Structure 1
Amino acid sequence: MSAQSPDTQSSRMIIIVLFAGALSVLLAMGLRNSLGLFLKPMTMDLGWGRETFSLALAVQNLLWGAFQPFASAAADKWGPGRIIALGGILYAGGLVIMANSLTPGAFYISAGLMLGMAQSASALGIILGVVGRVMPPEKRSWGLGIVTAAGGVGQFSVVPLGQVLIGAYGWSLAFLYLAAFGFVIVCCAIMIGQSAKIAPVASTSVESAGNLKDAIREAAGHRGYLLLTTGFFVCGFHVAFIAVHLPAYLSDLGMPEETGALALTLIGVFNVIGSYSAGVLGGKWRKKNLLSWLYISRALVFIWFILTPVSTTTVIVFASLLGLLWLSTVPLTSGLVAQIFGTRYMGTLFAFVFFSHQIGSFLGVWLGGYLFDLYGTYMPIWWAGVALGFAAALLHWPINDKTVVRIQPAQ
């Protein structure tokens, strides 16, 4: 038997990194997006207000973003396998504690702190950095689209499972069963850690900054990077509000409890199509322009849903359209970072952009619960989402997406 050529072996390792990374994202994002199903049964059982539940998940989103730069920098320095494995362990432990949380404090520690750290170590931010480094430039946007689409697969597979578990066993046991997925993430981490050592770092036409400190300083002074970072705030605001509060919103309007799970599932199904398509289109057309049109489309879909009487049909149409736009922003946004600054420090630079996304997530989740408890309606948040969608479109259009030209010192 002849030995494998280096090219064949490296290609095989790239496929393993892509597969294991996509599976980690599938599970991490699927678990995260199923948490909104627990809002009504948990708060009603424990006598909490919706703001209590919402604040815990808002803290989760904020800490996810706050820890992301550190998790990505640690992965750049010590390898992604260890960091992703830690994320899986934190996920499993956090869900176990959530199952036994009878006080808001315990829920804040588990759902907020532990799951926030788990997401930073095992979900999109860190995986996109790994995949972006090993994928060849001509297939990088496609690879990022595949990983992002995996988050949608997780949504339409884990969310229905969560609804079934809640209906059959109650919210506490449902958390315990879902905790098993944390250990599957650890297995993915082992595969990524071993394969990433063998898979070569892809070549790039962009010369990277000399060190991490220089890369951060350079990005902080780049107007396009700052606009991209500000615009990504809106994406976080939209998706976190919908993921956590849409099931309760529909239930409040008299729809069956299963309708919320159906909506999140459909968002996940169509997110696969949207994210993959965005990755493909991002390799052909200017990513910044595609982002502007995506945010305009979100605002228009929100307006239609707000003004249309709610029925099963309108929920299906809304969820399908929103799914196409759900995480389509991610491969385009992360791809812009790689396009402008190169892939060497892509994970860390995207992590700072992602922190802005998570600040938006924090506000979308928390304000949703706070304003509902205050006014008894979600309408103020819906209209805020519309306004922010148009604002994000305006922010992305003037981004300078040309690659940074660096003058190399004379030899």
Structure 2
Amino acid sequence: MSIASPTPAGAAPNPGPAGLSTLQVLVCGAFIVTLSMGIRHGFGLWLQPVTQSQGWTRETFAFALAVQNLSWGVFGIFAGMAADRFGAFKVLVVGAALYALGLLGMAMSTTSLGFALTAGILIGAAQAGTTYAVIYGVIGRQIPAEKRSWAMGVAAAAGSFGQFLMVPVEGWLISSFGWQEALMVLGAAVLLIMPLAWGLREPGFAGGTMPRREQSILQALREAFKYRSFQLLMAGYFVCGFQVVFIGVHMPSYLKDNGLSPQVASYALALIGLFNVIGTYAAGALGQRMPKRYILAFIYMARAVVISIFLLVPLSPASVYVFSAVMGVLWLSTVPPTNAVVAQIFGVAHLSMLGGFVFFSHQIGSFMGVWLGGVLYDRTGSYNIVWYISIALGVFAALINLPVRESPIVRGPQRMGAAA
């Protein structure tokens, strides 16, 4: 796959004196991810209020969120392309507007189709333009390679802190004002992404111009999809999506079904967010010091073990909180090393787009996890089968990440000349 050349794909461009500072990128990116991911992580709290109010089954709600995750993955590819072409600022502004409209539509929907279109397609498209793929593209272009994995860990930790911060707030809004009014409040709050996006206006994209690239989009895609390690990363990310979205959406109802109070679920999701601040930051920092494939393999195997123990011990608030804390360390800690490996192998010119394709695999897994959770619960009255699938997939993902090759692809003069 490599052709001898002095130009490694993973080399990071120097943003130069006109580039954005590391502090500016991290502060603005962190606050944006805190809002976008924080709101998204609390959607499981709406499952029972919405279904009981509307007279829908859990499968109806789960299907809408499954569509949301799939829409996020599909639109994430195009949001990544747009961010690579026009810069992150414009994509973030459009994404914030769609997010607000989606939350408003989610509150006002009276049919399952309307709910699927707003909570599903519209919010999914909004998340594509306001979360990791777009923010990581800015990080990759503006922060040197020797700090890139760490910076991605900081951004992911911000998303985790958003879960810790926003989930209790969302639970309080629902209990205090009602589920529809809570969605409207969040719709107004998400518009704060727009002024924050101003801080991520990259000078190299001024006036809609695009920095010179050695590859076209099609050439970058052909190179990536033929590369075995890219395929393995996509397969592992599928598992990540399956596990975290199933747990995030269905665990509140699982706990209530077993006699625990809604407050236990809110605290559990908040603990996941709090401890994932530690996990994502640690994964990003460790990625600067050790092979990222080992970090990923450990995370997936540890998830399988933790879920197994959770199902074996008697269910109680204490066991839920311990599970949430440990799972929180592993929750989104796959994000920094996965995206850092993509940047390390292929470079940063098309990082948002390639990250979008990897994330699309994640969202297919998310679709399957949240949808199967609803379907199998309605068919069997239990979540047990989906828990067992999550354990098996964790072992699978751990094994397939071990052979990933992290060294940069080296492109020869012939290929670069053809691309030019």
Find 1:160's aligned residue among 165, 168, 186: 168
Offset at 1:195?
Answer: 6.4
Offset at 1:194?
Answer: 5.6
Determine the structure 2 residue equivalent to 1:398: 403
State the distance in 2 between where 1:286 and 1:355 align. 24
State the distance in 1 between where 2:403 and 2:20 align. 40
Offset at 1:357?
Answer: 0.2
State the distance in 1 between where 2:54 and 2:294 align. 47
Matched, 1:112 2:87: no
Find 1:16's aligned residue among 24, 28, 35: 24
Q: Deviations over 1:352-373 (max 9, x none)?
A: 1110000000000000011001
Q: Structure 1 222/18 Cα, relative in aligned 2: closer, same or farther at 3 Å?
A: same
Find 1:359's aligned residue among 352, 357, 364: 364
Q: Deviations over 1:47-105 (max 9, x none)?
A: 10000000000000001001111111011111211111111001111111111112111
Unaligned runs of 5+ in 2: 1-13, 207-212
CA contact (8 A) 2:104 2:187 kept: yes
- AA partner of residue 42 (structure 1): V
State the distance in 1 between where 2:92 and 2:16 align. 26
Determine the structure 2 residue equivalent to 1:260: 265
- AA partner of residue 213 (structure 1): L
- AA partner of residue 255 (structure 1): L
Determine the structure 2 residue equivalent to 1:205: none
Percent of aligned pairs sharing the same letter: 45
Alignment of structure 1 residues 218-229 onto 2, 5 Å: 218-229=223-234
Offset at 1:146?
Answer: 0.6
State the distance in 1 between where 2:248 and 2:194 align. 25
Alignment of structure 1 residues 51-90 onto 2, 5 Å: 51-90=59-98
State the distance in 2 between where 1:382 and 1:140 align. 34
Alignment of structure 1 residues 205-354 onto 2, 5 Å: 209-354=214-359
State the distance in 2 between where 1:370 and 1:210 align. 44
Determine the structure 2 residue equivalent to 1:181: 189
- AA partner of residue 63 (structure 2): L
State the distance in 1 between where 2:84 and 2:348 align. 11
State the distance in 2 between where 1:7 and 1:115 align. 33
CA contact (8 A) 1:209 1:215 kept: no
Offset at 1:159?
Answer: 0.5
Matched position secondary structure for 1:112: helix
Determine the structure 2 residue equivalent to 1:201: none
Q: Deviations over 1:158-191 (max 9, x none)?
A: 1000000011011111111111122101112222
Matched position secondary structure for 2:403: coil
State the distance in 2 between where 1:321 and 1:38 align. 24
Matched, 1:136 2:144: yes
Q: Structure 1 360/209 Cα, relative in aligned 2: closer, same or farther at 3 Å?
A: farther
Unaligned runs of 5+ in 1: 1-5, 199-207
Q: What is the TM-score with the length of structure 2 in the denominator?
A: 0.92
Q: Structure 1 226/12 Cα, relative in aligned 2: closer, same or farther at 3 Å?
A: closer
Find 1:380's aligned residue among 385, 403, 417: 385
Offset at 1:193?
Answer: 2.0
State the distance in 2 between where 1:77 and 1:195 align. 13
Offset at 1:403?
Answer: 1.2
Taking only aligned residues, the RMSD between alpha carbons, in angstroms, comes to 1.8
- AA partner of residue 66 (structure 2): A
